[in-house]
Structure 1
Amino acid sequence: MPSDDGGTTAPATLSLTRREAEQRAATITVEHTEVTLDLTRHGLTFDSVSVIRFSLTDGAAPGAETFVDFKGEQLGSVELNGVALDPATWRQGRIPLTGLQQHNTLRIAGTMAYSSDGEGLHRHTDPADQRTYLYAMSFLAAAPRWFGCFDQPDLKSTYAFDVTAPVDWTVLGNGPSAAVEPGRWQIRPTAPLSTYFVTLVAGPYASCYREHDGIRLGFHARASLSASLETEVADLHEVTAASFDYYHQLFGVRYPFGEYHQAFVPDFNAGAMENPGCVTLRDQYIYRGRATRTERASRAGTVAHEMAHMWFGDLVTMRWWDDLWLNESFAEYAAHRCCTEGTTYPLWTEFGIVRKDWGSVADQSPSTHPVAGNGAVDAEAALQDFDGISYAKGASVLKQLVAHLGDHIFLTGLRDYFTTHAYGNAALSDLLAAWQRAGATDLEAWAEAWLQTSGLDTLTIDGSTLVRRAPADATVARPHTIAVAAVGRDGREVGREQVTLTGARVDLDLVGDDATVLVPDADDDTWAKIRFDADWAAVGALAPTIQRAATRVVVVNAFRDAVRSAEVDPALALDTLLEMATVDGEDVVVGAVLRFSSEVLASTFTPVDRRAERLALVHRTARTVTDAADEGSDRQLLGFRYAVASCADAELLRHWLDGRDLPPGLPLDPELTWAVVVRLAEVSGDDWPIERTLLRDPSASGSVHAARARASRPHPAAKEAAWQALIGASETPASELYAVAKGFFRPGQTDLTDGYVSRFFAEMPATAAFRSGWALGQIVTDAFPLVHASPETLALAEETLAQDLPAAVRRSMTDGTDVMRRAVASVRRFG
């Protein structure tokens, strides 16, 4: 539509299809992109100019046509080879280009809107000091929201950025940045980049610099977090340096992108983003209070994951999103391997108890898809496949591949792959060819079985036989190389056998009896559902005593999966897991079982009238964990966090908030204070603690916690205000909206929120009119009314899924409905 000043605005956009991407890549090659940004104007917009040099491919003749992507607020002008184009041709985020010459220069000038949803060029004003911070998130199709470009993974370009910003700002990007004069910065990345990982970080960031192995390292966060950044930088530097050393040795290719900055930015949707040379991470990783070693280990995993992307994804990039596993599965596998073998944070137990459970849920949902070749017809559909399958399942499959090929062939193939396709694009077939050159055989069959199918096999014991039961629609047999352990009543292994299962069953030399339980996949090495040769009560009695952490993880995951499949009474699972919480030696296991116990076993999978008593069991267990722990220990802090989250005694919460009756040696830091405030708001509806705490902690984190606390209050007016925030368009940061969504439907408030269940299914899909990308789906997920699990609610959910829904809404609705369907089945069976 024309604007008042002669420019053009176009709010609606199209999602790039695979076919369009292939056609465009067959038509043009992008050579260089110059982006000029002016970030000094006041308000919600900024000026952006892109000058793109590109040529026709050998298969395209002069006169060919294509289109360029531009998703700005207003298009000022477009010039192709010096000739002005009509801005009115801009429609749905695209500008058509016709009459192309062999060599072309395109200039696009426009006004862009800052975002508040964590995509495009995100703008955040820190409530702690009212200073403004920017960062660019170009993934998955958000780059055109801040500069005009040919936005697809296989049209790489070299870049040059010229940025005008306030004189007190720091400006960072994908390459070395330099202030050429006060307020003017130049960034010159050292290698070709895909648009989806082009970034910019700008604002009065606090910075710490280090160097390792000739690589300049930068660590950056908001000024209000500068003291915390100084505290955390030693550990961050140690993990970063160790990861560089490990990957250089493992991959045989040095880091190729010059400097390496890690910017911890506000309102970030994901854990981090692998922008070459300038990784962006959520600023919750700069801890404002005490952090446990488990949390630091998880952060180390994120640091190592994003660094692995410098090779998997950035140096060699997938041609299309169907092969996103070449990015995420490998980074997930490499990060856990790197941390375990190269840092002081071993992570394979965390992988099993946290990541694999996430992936298992995704792989059993109706929205499941293959690891590779998942049929992403367009970019919007591809976004829905960034899930536990692409990450955790893919990494598990790679563990099996290493067992199948051996480490030498596996790594030799990867080094060949990096060398052959450096700075370019590749597909699954290219990687398989590299492994074959390294000596691998029969990889096509392996890839068909593991990468191009969905769902989990079930491995179980029948007497002295290991049995594989494939999903109902399986057409190929997956090989499993695993250990089977015989565990005695005292938890010790009394026997072990390594086997490769290629068919439906294999006989074992191990024999179980009344004194032992046979545990398939005792080292947690494959991707399968696990069942046992004993009844669940016997396994539950044995579980807390099992001495090997990996085997305990297998048993915990089997219990969780069996609960979701209505095979095990949630009451039995609750007793088993709470007993484990009191004795397990791994904090990451204790945290996982307490979380599952409180959020699933005492909530969604329990009848409403029994939730309070089961949550009280969780609370008593959390208090036991706290009281038994050493003063000042991580275990004490972990137990107390869950004691707070499960506490139903408002007076006790008030005491804790005032510093009374706290565990010895455990003072309240800002995050622990907010945990008490949020729970107290949910239990009592008290307003004053929210406002008092926000006054003392006027930070971005404080604003997010306050948003959740307000939404959690058991008052009709509070719920209506929260609901309007969820279904209405606003400039509220997405991070606060996620908090509101999580605080809305609470287990103990079903009478109060019952009237909103039908409104959720009727009104939430319409938010696609003003939300998109990550935020659209995430808010639906976070607000899904699982606590109202019932046949009636399930019917509403299924009726909604029968409608025409936007992709992000459909994915979130599908996954939420699947959990609800399972909860209803479980309650129906076990009560």
Structure 2
Amino acid sequence: MTTPSPTRRYPSLRRTEAETRAAALTVDAVEVELDLTAPDAATFGSRTTLRFSSRAPETFVDFRGEELTEATLNGRPVPPERWQAGRLALDGLAAENTLVVAGRMAYSSDGEGLHRHVDPADGATYLYAMSFLDAAPRWFACFDQPDLKARYRFAVTAPPEWTVLGNGPSEPAGPGRWTLVPPEPLSTYFVTLVAGPYASVTAEHDGIELGFHVRASLRRELEAEAPDLVEVTARSFDFYHRLFGVRYPFGEYHQAFVPDFNAGAMENPGCVTFRDSFVYRGRATDAERAGRASVIAHEMAHQWFGDLVTMRWWDDLWLNESFAEYMGHRCCTDATRYPVWTEFGIRRKNWGAVADQAPSTHPVAGTGAVDAAAALQDFDGISYAKGAAVLRQLVAYLGDDVFVAGLRTYFTRHAFGNAEFAELIACWTDAGAVDLEAWAAAWLRTAGMDTLDVAPAATGAVVTVTGPDGGPSPRPHALTVAGVDAAGAVTPLVDLVLRGDAAPIAVPDGTVLVVPDGTDATWARVRFGADGWSDVAAVLPTVEDEAVLVVVHNAVRDAVRDATLDPAVALDLVTASLAGVQPEVLVTVVLGATSALAGPYSPVAERPERLARLHALALAVVDSSPAGSDRQLAGFRQAVASSADVDRLRAWAAGHDLPPGLALDSELTWTVVERLVELTGDDAVLDRTLAQDSSSSAAVHAARARAARPTAAAKEEAWRLLTQPSEVSAYEVYATAEGFFRAGQEELTAPYVERYFAEIGATAEFRRGWALGRVAGLAFPHLAADARTVALAERALAGDLPDPVRREVVDGLDLLRRAVASLERFAG
């Protein structure tokens, strides 16, 4: 039997369908046979045998192949016409069933299903499987939902010189043949395979075999990074074993750094996949390594949160992501040499704050995802950063002993199964939590951000809290109020739990600024009273306390977005203070965020002058940093990105006139070349750099640079890549979207603003999943901040847009409206 797939448009699994199928089926075993012996072909062979029991006469199995070549149920052929829209309908089910489904599956280039990457450095082919969220049926037949776990067995045939990895130990079964048997049941969404001529470093810790894998062209870089990777991995295992009281249950632990990966990483049990940019080709700062460490610890936390105990439906995805986010930062800070709560505050919390104030905001828990596609839209800053911040509040509310005891009960009670939010609450209640339902209702089942503010009072000051709608808030905020004096010294004033109204506090003489959340402990917008910004300006240049710096700079960004702080004043605040800030992560994030003040929050005519101020600030950071320091490198990167001096950029690109202690490596070279090409359109320098660096990373840099060239022909070429099908890798398409709309090119790109809203929805004809939404988000014309663009976005939303594109346009429009409101108020 051979029949082509009747359609490429697949329905998303609805929650009601998943509940019906879960009530009817128990999946005992899944055996997958893969033929990867022709990795340069368009398709590969996949044959799946599913053994399951049924309590209903009919169901369906998910299969999104190119061809269906075999389908038998209990030895009887399944009519091929029952394969429609990625589902194979089954009837006549017995109590015990054996289903065989075989076909030809397409290799992907979008980072989902079985992704294929040909490394331009050496022409070698690399594969990895990404089964999240509903991509598993793109490489094997399955009952694709999180609560139908099964035991798996893989038989893989591939070129004999390859490495083959998966969720269980890889055992040779003859030349070019491997068998993999994961030790415990798995949900479909974290089943994986990694195959190709990968380079590897192995180690062992506490009886656990560790493996680190990367493309052969990055072997040297992996070997250089391996000591840090091993140390972070080992210390994280020790931390989680101590804290949870449950040992890692999935056998070996491989970490594969793979090309074109959409997310930061994926928590596949026993074989975590990461984007390979974490294996640094150039110099990396301690803050960047800290960020990598937090991702490693985050994915390891998932081995318990998500893999050992899995959410029953995507509605409870916070049981995965919020906990992994919180635990990853806690683990890094407590167990490794990388304290990362400052990074969490300045980078991750701001990401979550933007999401929580957007029209698409949603509760942390119980997101109401009616289908898997809707759930994908909620993998955002709320599920990660807000959820983690709320968990910090929960620890303060419960006490750490009760918090951890409840988690230990949860892991043992629901091991290798599925659970819901109510079952976790029950475990905490058994551990001694009181009135947790009320706390959860206030924090986890509501959306939006409260606002903390201060006002003068006879006793000194009053700290107030209001809800997202401006009324009383039901959320209890456990926080520390701090005072800052004229010399920048920070003094804790009082620890309190603010419950919905206001709290008077005593303020010592000499206090200039009262910070309502002085340790960055809660989840709320922060303001500083009627004269707050002048008070901030008076003390910010001398403040060294990292938590206060995080709170203040987040408040500045939020107030600019809220059109309550003039972007010009915000630029003055940052310019007057940042050159004295020492932590590199703060310098990097604040400098990067300041670029918006020279972009969408600036009148077009004023953008060059503001960019020049940003450039001068970046150079001041370079000049005030020790030679060779991470801080110097952070300042230099931003100095390059904001430079308008072509001659200086050409000198830097040639390695001349660099600040003392800095040397060009491949990545820093591309940073300079990208900006130079953006200003000049110089294809010659682009071609020379590509001739010296043939890596896939170079191809991505080159794609971004080509899209940024200031010519009509370059923009049209880039636009075709964004809006028409091609064989270009997803990363190169993303880079093209990033490079398209650039400050200083507003007149050149003006025709494409209307074209974006007219054409971006049609990209769903050839893109899907993550890539569909990501390209739409990256290409959104934020720089065209005016009423016309708002009207175009509103008109597009009134029409028919695919859900991933609609979400990006909704969120993009929200930010656009904020920029327009700011311009109307402060530049009108």
TM-score higher than 0.5 here?
yes
1:462 equivalent to 2:455? Answer yes
- C-alpha contact 1:9 1:73 (8 A) present in aligned 2: no
> What's the offset of the Cα at 1:588?
0.6
- Note if contact 1:313-1:326 (Cα within 8 Å) is conserved in structure 2: yes
Partner amino acid, structure 1, of 2:74 = N
Question: Secondary structure of 2:8's match?
Answer: coil
**Which residue number in structure 1 is paired with residue 92 of structure 2?**
99
Select 2:329's aligned residue among 336, 342, 361: 336
Report the counterpart of residue 479 of structure 2 in structure 1.
Answer: 482
Equivalent of residue 732 in structure 1, options 728, 746, 750 = 728
Rounded to whole Å, the distance in 2 between the matches of 1:473 and 1:273 is 39
CA distance in 1, matches of 2:681, 2:237: 49
After TM superposition, list the pairs within 5 Å mapping 1:580-599 onto structure 2.
580-598=577-595
Size of the alignment, in residue pairs?
A: 821
Unaligned runs of 5+ in 1: none
Matches within 5 A, 1:619-698: 619-698=615-694
The match for 2:409 is 416
Residue 759 (structure 1) shift: 0.3
- Once residues 477 and 28 of structure 1 are traced to their aligned partners in structure 2, the CA distance between those partners, rounded to angstroms, is 42
Q: Offset of 1:87 from its aligned partner?
A: 1.4
Shift of 1:436: 0.1
Distance in 2 separating the partners of 1:514 and 1:814: 46
Tell me the CA shift for residue 6 of structure 1. 4.6
Q: Which of 59, 62, 65 is matched with 1:66 structurally?
A: 59
Residue 495 of structure 1 deviates from its aligned partner by 4.8
Contact 2:113 2:129 in 1 (8 A): yes
1:748 is aligned to 744
Matched, 1:451 2:444: yes
Q: Secondary structure at the match of 2:599?
A: helix
Distance in 1 between residues matched to 2:572 and 2:294, nearest whole Å: 31
1:521 and 1:791 map into 2 onto residues whose CA distance is 36
Aligned to 2:302: 309
Moved more, 563-572 or 510-519: 510-519
Contact 1:175–1:188 (CA<8 Å) still a contact in 2?
yes
The reply to whether residue 347 of structure 1 matches residue 316 of structure 2 is no
Aligned partner of 1:190: which letter?
A: P
| Whole-angstrom CA distance in 2 between matches of 1:751 and 1:306 | 44
1:81 paired residue number: 74
User: Which deviates further from its counterpart, 218-227 or 11-20?
Assistant: 11-20
**Displacement of 1:472:** 1.5
- For 2:122, the aligned partner's letter is D
| Residues 472, 501 of structure 2: 8 Å contact kept | no
Alignment of 1:779-818 (within 5 A): 779-818=775-814
Distance 1:682 1:131, change over 3 A: same
The partner residue of 1:540 within 537, 540, 550 is 537
Which residue, 41, 48, 53 being the options, matches 1:43? 41
Deviation at 1:537, TM superposition (A): 2.3
Q: Deviations over 1:118-140 (max 9, x none)?
A: 00000000000000000000000
Shift of 1:164: 0.3
1:775 is aligned to 771
The aligned runs of 1:184-195 (5 Å cut-off) are 184-195=177-188
- Quote the residue 1:174 is aligned against: 167
Instruction: Specify the code of the residue in structure 2 equivalent to 1:141.
Output: D
In structure 2, what is the Cα distance between the partners aligned to 1:656 and 1:39?
45
**Residue 485 of structure 1 contacts residue 495 of structure 1 at CA under 8 Å; is this kept in 2?**
yes
Indicate the RMSD between aligned Cα atoms, in angstroms.
1.2
Matched, 1:503 2:500: yes
Aligned to 2:350: 357
Task: Check the 8 A contact 2:466/2:472 in 1, yes or no.
Answer: no
Give the Cα–Cα distance (whole angstroms) in 1 for the partners of residues 292 and 107 of structure 2: 28
Give the corresponding residue for 1:425.
Answer: 418
* Aligned match of 1:161: 154
Q: Any idea what SS the aligned residue of 1:604 has?
A: coil
Contact 1:119–1:137 under 8 Å retained in 2 = yes
**Separation in 2, partners of 1:280, 1:731:** 23
Alignment correspondent of 1:401:
394
CA drift at 1:665: 2.3
Unaligned runs of 5+ in 2: none
Counterparts of 2:492 and 2:90, CA distance in 1: 69
SS at match of 2:173: strand
Per-residue CA deviations over 1:572-621 (Å, capped at 9, x if unaligned) read 111212333211121111111100111x1111100100011001011111
Residue type of the partner of 2:302? H
Contact 2:512 2:535 in 1 (8 A): no
**Per-residue deviation at 1:12?**
2.0
* Aligned residue in 2 for 1:130: 123
1:385 maps to which residue? Answer: 378
Aligned equivalents of 2:125, 2:537: Cα separation in 1: 53
Q: Does 1:565 align with 2:562?
A: yes
Match for residue 28 of structure 1 among 22, 25, 28: 25
Q: Distance in 2 between the 1:802 and 1:742 partners?
A: 26
Which shifted more, 530-539 or 282-291?
530-539
Distance 1:333 1:540 in 2: 32
Q: Secondary structure at the match of 1:787?
A: coil
Q: Give the distance between the partners of 1:404 and 1:762, measured in 2 at CA.
A: 49
Q: Which amino acid aligns with 2:357?
A: Q
Select 2:719's aligned residue among 723, 748, 759.
723
Deviation string, structure 1 residues 230-271 (Cα, Å, up to 9, x no partner): 000000000000000000001110000000000000000010
* Greater CA drift, 425-434 or 686-695: 686-695
**Deviation readout 1:81-124 (Å, 9 max, x if unpaired):** 00001112111110001111000000000000000000000000
- Percent identity between matched residues is 61
Give the conservation status (yes or no) of the 8 Å contact 1:218–1:262: yes
Partner of 1:16: 13
CA contact (8 A) 1:228 1:288 kept: yes
- Decide which of 119, 144, 156 is 1:151's aligned counterpart: 144
- CA drift of 1:628 comes to 2.0
Equivalent position amino acid for 1:808 in 2: P
CA distance in 1, matches of 2:545, 2:491: 12
State the partner residue of 2:704. 708
Residue 541 of structure 1: CA displacement?
A: 2.8
> Which among 314, 324, 327 is matched to residue 317 of structure 2?
324
| 1:537–1:572 Cα contact (<8 Å) kept | no
Change (3 A) 1:6 1:337: closer
Contact 1:7 1:76 in 2 (8 A): no
Q: For the Cα contact (< 8 Å) 2:483–2:511, is it kept in 1?
A: no
Q: Structure 1, residues 471-526: CA drift from partner, whole Å, max 9, x if none? A: 12878600001000111111112451001111211222x23777421101100000
CA distance in 1: counterparts of 2:518 and 2:345, whole angstroms: 12
Q: Deviations over 1:685-732 (max 9, x none)?
A: 111111111111000000000000011000000000000000001121
CA distance in 2, matches of 1:197, 1:581: 43
Name 2:210's counterpart in structure 1: 217
Contact kept in structure 1, 2:364 and 2:447, CA below 8 Å: yes
Secondary structure of 1:768's aligned partner: helix
- Partner SS for 2:597: helix
Determine the C-alpha separation between the residues in 2 that align with 1:591 and 1:425.
40
1:439 is aligned, of 428, 432, 435, to 432
Distance 1:481 1:158 in 2: 44
Aligned partner letter, 2:776: V
